[in-house]
């Protein structure tokens, strides 16, 4: 598959054309999503620097993501999964208890040699007190209250698995690529509370291709283990 800058940028139509989920209190996300870029050129922005409160060892490592290197996301990129915000730009009360946050992108190679890669994102937010537990509860409530739909500018949020401290979702969108007829593309995300931290991993696919539920389930388990050092 020929991958060039113009086709990579086309992937952003899937997110840039939608109403972004704003999180003004999130130190790393507050605006609309930007297209995936394997070059990581967007990551050079000073605003994307990871807070010192969250060390690199607390994030997914290359060995977890098929050798992919972490690239910081700019403020606002993929804000709907930083953390999960199915109800749009409304703030969670628990946002106020977050003391640090970091969001990264990984361009993960396909499972088979030469196959299409996928864009994976990771968000880690560190809270004080009971803030992390309250945020996970708010996310789960939001998924019930705002399932969304497949209309123009919408996302449909489908809960696949949910527990006291975790949730796995499918995020569907209608997407028209080039001159192709519109089709439904599915991305996957998982959120988990690890002590005082909320961890989110999402597979946002590639161009007009969807993500992998299996990959997300695998990576959230690895991300939980990495984030455990924050306790």
pLDDT of residue 25: 37
Confidence of residue 44 (pLDDT cuts 50, 70, 90): very low
Residue 145's alpha-carbon distances to 88, 160, 205, in angstroms, are 11, 16, 26
Confidence of residue 104 (pLDDT cuts 50, 70, 90): very high
Secondary structure of the chain: what % helix, strand, coil (to 5)?
25, 30, 45
pLDDT at 19 over 50: no
For residues 163 and 8, which has the higher predicted lDDT (pLDDT)?
163
Q: pTM here?
A: 0.78
The conformational region for residue 113 under phi > 0 = left, psi -120 to 50 = alpha, else beta, is: beta
Nearest to 81 by CA among 18, 10, 145: 18
- The distance of Cα 32 from the centroid of its chain, to the nearest Å, equals 13
pLDDT of residue 178: 74
The H or E element containing residue 13 is helix 13-16
Span of 104-113, 137-146, 152-161 with lowest mean pLDDT: 104-113
Confidence of residue 77 (pLDDT cuts 50, 70, 90): very high
Nearest to 61 by CA among 231, 227, 230: 227
Q: What is the CA radius of gyration of the chain?
A: 16
């Amino acid at each position: 598959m020929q991958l060039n800058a113009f086709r990579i940028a086309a992937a952003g139509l899937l997110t840039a054309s939608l109403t972004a989920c704003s999180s003004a209190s999130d130190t790393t996300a507050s605006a609309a999503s930007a297209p995936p870029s394997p070059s990581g050129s967007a990551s050079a922005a000073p605003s994307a620097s990871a807070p010192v409160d969250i060390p690199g060892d607390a994030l997914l490592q290359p060995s977890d993501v098929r050798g992919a290197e972490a690239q910081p996301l700019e403020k606002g990129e993929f804000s709907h999964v930083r953390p999960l915000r199915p109800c749009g730009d409304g703030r969670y009360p628990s946002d106020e208890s977050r003391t640090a946050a970091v969001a990264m992108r990984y361009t993960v190679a396909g499972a088979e040699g030469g196959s299409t890669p996928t864009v994976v994102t990771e968000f880690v937010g560190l809270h004080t007190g009971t803030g992390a537990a309250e945020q996970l509860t708010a996310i789960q409530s939001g998924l019930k209250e705002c399932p969304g739909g497949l209309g123009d500018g919408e996302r449909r949020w489908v809960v696949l698995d949910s527990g006291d401290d975790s949730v796995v979702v499918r995020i569907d969108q209608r997407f028209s690529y080039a001159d192709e007829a519109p089709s439904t593309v599915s991305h996957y995300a998982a959120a988990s509370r690890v002590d005082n931290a909320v961890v989110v991993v999402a597979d946002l696919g590639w161009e007009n291709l969807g993500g992998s539920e299996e990959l997300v389930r695998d990576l959230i388990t690895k991300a939980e283990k990495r984030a455990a050092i924050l306790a």
